[in-house]
Structure 1
Amino acid sequence: MKNEIVTYTILKAKGLQLEQVEDCVVQEIPLTIHFNREEIATLLCSPSQIEELTLGFLLNEGFIRVPEDISEIRQDPKDHLVWVEGKPCLLQKELMTKRFVSACCGKSRASFCFANDALMVKPLTSKHSITLTEAYGYTAFLQSPLPLFQATGGIHSGGVGYQGQVVLTSYDIGRHNVFDKLNGSAFRSGLQLDNHVIFFSGRVSSEILLKVAKMKVPILIARGAPTDMAISQASALNITIIGFAREQRLNIYTCPERIMV
């Protein structure tokens, strides 16, 4: 955690009194990802789980599908660079540049902003369900701040759960990066997520919902609120959204049949 914290001297106000104190600030780095010797993107992120973030990003953006698509991954921690070599992606340029809006699942919802979203996202068929007790267990994880959050207050966190157990965790300054790291971790370990739960410290926007859909996770538990577009997409894609998950209370917005009393 030490290399993820930067200390600054600041002025802290209490009422009309100013005090000079040392304050811990979370570190942010620009990570540039190359795929088959071509620069793909620069992500602003926390300097942790870099390979998992890279793999999750490439997976979510459609550059890779299975572990066999990757032949090599290497990084330069000093300059924050990652190089991935793998099977050629025929739609590489189109995936990063072609923007359009299409209807979600044929129901005339303006949902998809990138070509790979429309290509990769389909309604889920999972019949996986959990109990309220299990849901509250994952909520308890979100209520136990990580040491880095306690020191800086500057990160999002999340995890993957199965049968009440936390099987994967991640954190980052960027909420999107949390999901890419989880997806990359699952990808590396060969873990299929179609009967798992994702829990997350932030709110649920349409972009976050699409990340979950690409990961094929049927249940999302969030500490924050969903947006209307996220709810609309979740209904069309058969994903259960739980929001405002705090202690022994939560709101179920979509597909409530997956939550058992």
Structure 2
Amino acid sequence: MTKEIVTHTILKANGLRLEEVEDCVVQEIPLTVHYNREEIATLLCSPSQTEELTLGFLLNEGFIQTPNDVYELRQDPADHLVWVEGKPCLLQKELMSKRFVSACCGKSRASFCFANDVLMVKPLASTYSISLEEAYKYAGFLQNHLPLFQATGGVHSGGVGYQGEVVLTSYDIGRHNVFDKLNGSAFRSGIQLENHVIFFSGRVSSEILLKVAKMKVPILIARGAPTDMALSQATALNITVIGFAREQRLNIYTCPERVIV
């Protein structure tokens, strides 16, 4: 975790008293992604799991679909560059023009604005369910396993759970990046996410809900609040959304039949 943190000398105020102290600040880097020699996007992110972030981003944007679509992945860590050679994507230019992707706000688009969203997102047929105690366990993990957040206050975190066990985790300054990293990690590990749970430290916007839908995960547990558009999408896509999740309390907003007391 040390490479994720830098220290800055700051002035800390306590009432009318100022004190010079060393403060921990989370690191942020621009990661520029190339696919088949074309510059696709620059992602503002934390400098961890950058290969997983790249793969998850390409998955969620429709450039790749299976491990066989990726021929080679290489990085230049010093200059924060990554190159992926893969299966030719006929809609590459239409799917993505070169752009700068903000860590905190994503692409700020209306629901199903892009054609690839409509093509990639379908209602889920999963009947997977979890117990209420299992949901509380994942919420507790978020609350108790956030060392980088506790040190800096500057990151989101998330994980993938299965039958009460945490199988994948990620963290990043960008909430969208958390989901791309989880998706990329599952992709690399050969984990099919249809019967899994995602838990997340932030709020649930429509963009976050679309990430979950593209990953085909039927249950999302978040510490934050959902938006009305996210809940409308969740209902249409048959995704269970749980918000305001703490160790012994939570709100079930959509598809409650997947949570068993």
Fold shared, TM-score > 0.5 on shorter chain: yes
- Structure 1: which 5+ residue stretches go unaligned? 98-109
**What does residue range 118-137 of structure 1 map to in structure 2 within 5 Å?**
118-137=118-137
Bigger strand fraction: 1
Q: Look up the match of 1:232.
A: 232
Deviations 1:179-233 (A, max 9, x none): 0000000001110000000000000000000000000000000000000000000
In structure 1, what residue type is equivalent to 2:27?
Q
How much is the aligned-residue C-alpha RMSD, in angstroms? Answer: 0.8
Q: Look up the match of 1:183.
A: 183
Q: Look up the match of 2:260.
A: 260
In structure 1, what residue type is equivalent to 2:180?
D
In structure 2, what residue type is equivalent to 1:243?
G
In the alignment, the residues of structure 1 paired with residue 41 and residue 78 of structure 2 have an alpha-carbon distance, to the nearest angstrom, of 18
Q: Look up the match of 1:89.
A: 89
Q: Look up the match of 2:167.
A: 167
Q: Look up the match of 2:41.
A: 41
In the alignment, the residues of structure 2 paired with residue 260 and residue 147 of structure 1 have an alpha-carbon distance, to the nearest angstrom, of 31
Deviations 1:109-145 (A, max 9, x none): x721212111100000000000100000101101114
Q: Look up the match of 2:157.
A: 157
Q: Look up the match of 2:70.
A: 70
**What does residue range 206-221 of structure 1 map to in structure 2 within 5 Å?**
206-221=206-221
Secondary structure of the equivalent of 2:125? coil
In the alignment, the residues of structure 2 paired with residue 163 and residue 94 of structure 1 have an alpha-carbon distance, to the nearest angstrom, of 39
Secondary structure of the equivalent of 1:248? coil
In the alignment, the residues of structure 2 paired with residue 180 and residue 247 of structure 1 have an alpha-carbon distance, to the nearest angstrom, of 26
Q: Shift of the alpha carbon at 1:4? A: 1.1
Q: Look up the match of 1:102.
A: none
In the alignment, the residues of structure 2 paired with residue 124 and residue 150 of structure 1 have an alpha-carbon distance, to the nearest angstrom, of 36
In structure 1, what residue type is equivalent to 2:179?
F
Q: Shift of the alpha carbon at 1:249? A: 0.4
Secondary structure of the equivalent of 2:127? coil
* Stretches of 4+ aligned residues off by more than 2 angstroms: none
Secondary structure of the equivalent of 1:136? helix
Secondary structure of the equivalent of 1:187? helix
Q: Look up the match of 2:104.
A: none
In the alignment, the residues of structure 1 paired with residue 12 and residue 230 of structure 2 have an alpha-carbon distance, to the nearest angstrom, of 38
In the alignment, the residues of structure 1 paired with residue 113 and residue 78 of structure 2 have an alpha-carbon distance, to the nearest angstrom, of 34
In the alignment, the residues of structure 1 paired with residue 63 and residue 37 of structure 2 have an alpha-carbon distance, to the nearest angstrom, of 13
Mean CA deviation greater in 50-59 or 143-152: 143-152
Q: Look up the match of 2:18.
A: 18
Secondary structure of the equivalent of 1:111? coil
Q: Shift of the alpha carbon at 1:153? A: 0.8
Alignment TM-score, normalising by the size of structure 2: 0.94
In structure 2, what residue type is equivalent to 1:257?
E
In the alignment, the residues of structure 1 paired with residue 96 and residue 48 of structure 2 have an alpha-carbon distance, to the nearest angstrom, of 24
Mean CA deviation greater in 143-152 or 160-169: 143-152
- Structure 2: which 5+ residue stretches go unaligned? 98-109
In structure 2, what residue type is equivalent to 1:72?
E
Q: Look up the match of 1:204.
A: 204
Secondary structure of the equivalent of 2:220? strand
In structure 2, what residue type is equivalent to 1:166?
V
Q: Look up the match of 1:107.
A: none
Secondary structure of the equivalent of 1:241? strand
Percent of matched pairs sharing the same residue? 85
In the alignment, the residues of structure 2 paired with residue 158 and residue 87 of structure 1 have an alpha-carbon distance, to the nearest angstrom, of 30
In the alignment, the residues of structure 2 paired with residue 199 and residue 152 of structure 1 have an alpha-carbon distance, to the nearest angstrom, of 21
